[in-house]
Structure 1
Amino acid sequence: MGTKRLHLIDAIRGLSLFGILAANMLIFQYGFYGKDEMELFEVSRGETYFHTFLQITVEGSFMPIFAFLFGFGMVKMVENLQELNLGVKRTAARRFVFLIVLGLLHSVFLWEGDILLGYGITGLFLLFFLKRKAKTLLIWAVILFGATVLLGYGGSVDDYAQVDSSLSQYVTKTNMVYGEGSYLDILQHRMNEDPMLDLGVPEGLIPVVALFALFIGIFPFLFGMYGAKRGWFTSPEQEKKLYTKGLVLLPFGLMCKSAYFLMGSHSLSGALFIAGSMFLAAGYLFLFAYFYTAVRNPSFFGFFGYVGRLSLTNYISQTIICTTIFYGYGLGMFGELGIVYGFLLTIVVYYGQVHFSKWYLKHFRTGPLERAARIATYLTLSGRPKKKRALEGKKAAS
């Protein structure tokens, strides 16, 4: 019983985790704000060019894929809950509360770049869209996408650099504390230092702005829900034409993101970067799906699938591995490895996760955090829905 496992979705989720790690490696090395203040670090001209390359090809274009898959998976979970005759909203809400709690623990005790807290809150927003038709989801997604792009109008490379220059003192202190400090020093800095307050942003306004940003930024999740309701990625061989048409978004997204750096202070460049990030994300999504049908090499895509099946566990383990390498309570290499070597480290860490995930799945069905999520969702120690409820659903249908 339950929905059929979609191996293409597992593989895409694994791919997105590689891109997320590549983007997050800059934050692990230089901090959440320091990654955009390269002049405060000893970075060569060649690495500066490579940094721009990563900003165009990676940054902001893999997180939307993960968000798309979150919305996609939410619809599939609802279908499974309906089949089991379980309460959809309360069961899904428990899963999102679990993500909120895990995200809080992750962001407070490990790393400030957490996404799970935001995903959990977004999931609660998405409960209001569960019963909406696919067309309604698409309309909302397009409207919110357009609003997000409009909010980026007026932003440019020069404007953001001017704002970031006021954060140099914070970045310099972060570099010292994260590179040389103990775990408690880093924890205290993360909890008590807030550069937004130094920029004059009222403390009470920050959570309001964050919630607004979460709501207006739910459009990739809605696109994912739309895709699930339209049956995308369920029959790859039959959907090859769809993937081929979607490939046009790849060069279009690259051009839009490149324009952000080429246009300098032009007021349109910020909007182009946001739009380009989404177009490129969609292009990557369709490109990977196209190769999935064209290459016909299950072992190659299986590598990504192993990581994707343990996405939650692998995401948290990336934090543990990288903070141990870069922070003072570990190897203390914060700000020292460099952008190129940091990308090579991304490959090494991900390659290790591929083989660990493959080994793990030979011995266990689900990852430790995936199992914890299922326990919290279904309120059973086995992490499976209660059979009694499933049987009651069968009797009611007969």
Structure 2
Amino acid sequence: MSPSSAMLDRPLTGGRALAPDLARGVMLLLIALAHAHMYLSGHPTGYRAYALDGGALDRVVTGIQVALVDGRAMPMFAALFGYGFVQLAGKRAGDWADTRRLLRRRSRWLLVFGFGHALLLFFGDILAAYGLAGLLMVGVLRWRDRTLVVFAGAWLLVHAAAALVNGLRIAEFGGPSGMAAATDPVAAVGERLALWGVLTPFLVVELVIPVLLGVWAARRRLLDEPGRHVTALRVTAVVGIGSAVLGGLPLALVDAQVWTLGALAVPAYVLHGVTGLAGGLGYAALIGLVAARVTRPGWALTALAACGRRSMTCYLSQSVVFVAVFVPYAGGLGAELGTAAASGIAVVTWLATVAFADALRRADRGGPAEWLLRRLTYGRKGFENVR
């Protein structure tokens, strides 16, 4: 029996581990920060879609976020997605064919959720990318560990090539415009879907490596039992986050308009994207180290974990708030505010979703989006047996 088959046949131990939910809860703050500035309109932008016409505070926030947030949050979530894929498979008592059908059904519904998200709210949706990745990569759960690692290493070349193509496009045609400035809600739908259709395949390319490594980590229960893997988590956190900061700094200085690299800006963009993979893994490992030191989580960690357990609901709620505040046909502040103000709104929005998730926890209720996804995935009969 292969290691992957053994993992699928071994049920997970009882209880819900703190680290994966805590990591998702923290990750949603990074997602909010990475997305809020995309709702601004009417500004020339740099390589990561940050406005170039802001004040000193806006440029400081831009530099910090490009170095620490952009291209680091999504790899973290992707690794957790791969980790959760193994957890879902481990809960199935049936054979592999049954497990594969279930995971593919869930991935197809994620695609539907993502389409709805893009249709109604945000072109930068990531749910569809995870759904498409799940459909294409469900078979990796049967791969041996060596195959996972070797393929991830080989895919790094594809990842870098995609970043190079995008960087060259930005250098020639200018920075991405972010959220379209359409004042007509109907016209905005077409613009969002057009951007979403182009962006989603690129996102899938970026997801491959962290998903594979998330599967590898789940087989070792690195986040389920972080106390047993402190050394590995510490090394991953230090190397991963350190690499992301150093690798992201050149582009951060470029987008913050501190440093003009000229033709070297494109290699800086590629370096930013590649080291972001390490940063996402490093952040997840750092949360695992925090969880390893917690014997009884206090109210703050409990609320964050509640947010992570309801991550889809909280993620979609962020988009609802951002549309209400920023887009021209709603709050209309996207044309008036700068990067720093948008990031401030992102933090407040994230805090509100944490409070909302904790209120649901206190009421012993799950997130509505999670409830619907489980109901659609498992059906009425199967849903009754799903926790």
Which TM class, normalised by the smaller chain length?
A: 0.7 to 0.9
Question: 1:241 corresponds to which residue?
Answer: 231
* Paired residue type of 1:278: L
Match of 2:275 in 1: 276
Instruction: For residue 150 of structure 2, give the secondary structure of its aligned residue in structure 1.
Output: helix
Runs of 4+ aligned structure 1 residues displaced above 6 Å come to 83-86
Question: CA separation of 1:190/1:51 partners in 2, compared to 1, >3 Å: closer, same or farther?
Answer: same
**Separation (CA, whole Å) in 2 of partners of 1:185 and 1:330:** 14
Partner of 1:380: 380
- Determine the structure 1 residue equivalent to 2:81: 70
1:186 maps to 188
Between the aligned partners of 1:376 and 1:86, the Cα distance in structure 2 is 19
Is the Cα–Cα contact under 8 Å of residues 72 and 228 in structure 1 kept in the other structure?
A: yes
Cα distance in structure 1, aligned partners of 2:57 and 2:291:
34
Which stretches in structure 2 are left out of the alignment for 5+ residues?
1-10
| 8 Å contact from structure 1 (residues 249, 283) kept in 2 | yes
- Give the CA deviation at 1:232: 1.2
Q: For 1:6 and 1:258, how far apart are their aligned partners in 2? A: 34
Aligned: 1:38 with 2:22 = no
- Please state how far the C-alpha of 1:273 moved relative to its aligned partner: 1.1
Matched residues, number: 364
- State the Cα deviation string for residues 185-223 of structure 1 (Å, max 9, x = none): 4224435x76x9xxxxxxxxx76x964762564111111
Q: Which amino acid aligns with 1:307?
A: C
Are residues 381 and 26 of structure 1, via their aligned partners in 2, closer, same or farther at CA, if it must alter by over 3 Å? farther
Aligned alpha-carbon RMSD (Å): 3.1
Partners of 2:127 and 2:179 lie apart in 1 by 27
TM-score (norm 1): 0.81
Distance change (3 Å), C-alpha of 1:172 and 1:268: closer
Q: Alignment partner of 1:141: what SS?
A: helix
2: distance between equivalents of 1:173 and 1:213?
A: 17
Match of 1:265 in 2: 263
- What is the one-letter code of the residue matched to 2:180? T
| Distance of 2:215 and 2:165 partners within structure 1 | 31
Q: Does 1:127 align with 2:118?
A: no
Instruction: Please state how far the C-alpha of 1:69 moved relative to its aligned partner.
Output: 0.5
Amino acid at match of 2:99: V
- Specify which of 174, 187, 192 is matched with residue 180 of structure 2: 174
Which among 119, 129, 134 is matched to residue 118 of structure 1?
129
After superposition, the Cα gap between the structure-2 partners of 1:342 and 1:37, relative to the gap in structure 1 and judged at 3 Å, is closer
Q: CA deviation at 1:155?
A: 7.3
Q: Secondary structure at the match of 1:328?
A: coil
* Aligned twin of 2:6: none
Q: Is the deviation greater in 108-117 or in 296-305?
A: 296-305
Q: Does 1:164 align with 2:174?
A: yes
Paired AA for residue 162 in structure 1: E
Moved more, 262-271 or 227-236: 262-271
C-alpha distance in structure 1 between counterparts of 2:12 and 2:231, whole Å: 28
Structure 2: distance between partners of 1:82 and 1:383:
15
Distance 1:31 1:234 in 2: 45
What is the CA-CA distance between 1:149 and the residue it aligns to? 2.3
Structure 1 residues 211 and 172: alpha-carbon distance in aligned structure 2, compared to 1, 3 A threshold: closer
Number of the residue aligned with 1:202: none
**Cα distance change of structure 1 residues 215 and 351 upon mapping to structure 2, 3 Å threshold:** closer
Taking a change above 3 Å as real, the CA distance of residues 188 and 152 of structure 1, as seen in their structure-2 partners, is: closer
Distance 2:289 2:90 in 1: 26
Segments of 5+ residues of structure 1 without an aligned counterpart are 197-205, 388-398
Q: Does 1:89 align with 2:105?
A: no
Is the 2:40–2:326 contact (alpha carbons within 8 Å) kept by the matching residues of 1?
yes
Q: Deviations over 1:304-326 (max 9, x none)?
A: 20110101111111111110111
Q: Which residue of 2 aligns with 1:203?
A: none
- Secondary structure in 2 matching 1:135: helix
Aligned to 1:51: 62
Q: Secondary structure at the match of 1:111?
A: coil
Relative to structure 1, the CA distance from residue 212 to residue 56 in structure 2 (aligned partners, 3 Å threshold; closer, same or farther) is closer
How far does residue 285 in structure 1 lie from its aligned partner after superposition? 1.9
Q: Distance in 1 between matches of 2:109 and 2:325?
A: 28
Q: Which residue of 2 aligns with 1:369?
A: 369
Instruction: State the partner residue of 1:201.
Output: none
Structure 1 residues 81 and 3 mapped into 2: Cα distance closer, same or farther (>3 Å)?
Answer: farther
Shift of 1:127: 1.5
Distance 2:139 2:61 in 1: 42
How far, CA to CA, are the matches of 1:321 and 1:382 in structure 2?
Answer: 33
**Counterpart contact for 2:36–2:346, Cα < 8 Å:** yes
How many Å separate the matches in 2 of 1:88 and 1:307?
A: 27
Cα separation, partners in 2 of 1:366 and 1:32, compared to 1, 3 Å: farther
Asked if structure 2 preserves the Cα contact closer than 8 Å seen for 1:2 and 1:83, the reply is no
TM-score, normalising length: structure 2: 0.84
Shift of 1:249: 2.4
Instruction: Report which of the two structures shows the higher radius of gyration computed on alpha carbons.
Output: 1
Q: Give the match's secondary structure for 1:128.
A: helix
Secondary structure of the structure 1 residue equivalent to 2:331: coil
Deviation at 1:327, TM superposition (A): 1.6
Q: Assess if the C-alpha contact under 8 Å between 1:37 and 1:164 holds in 2.
A: no
- 1:280, distance to aligned residue in structure 2 (A): 1.8
Q: Is the 8 A contact 1:371 1:383 kept in 2?
A: no
Q: Report deviation, 1:2.
A: 6.3
Q: CA contact under 8 A between 1:61 and 1:281: conserved in structure 2?
A: yes
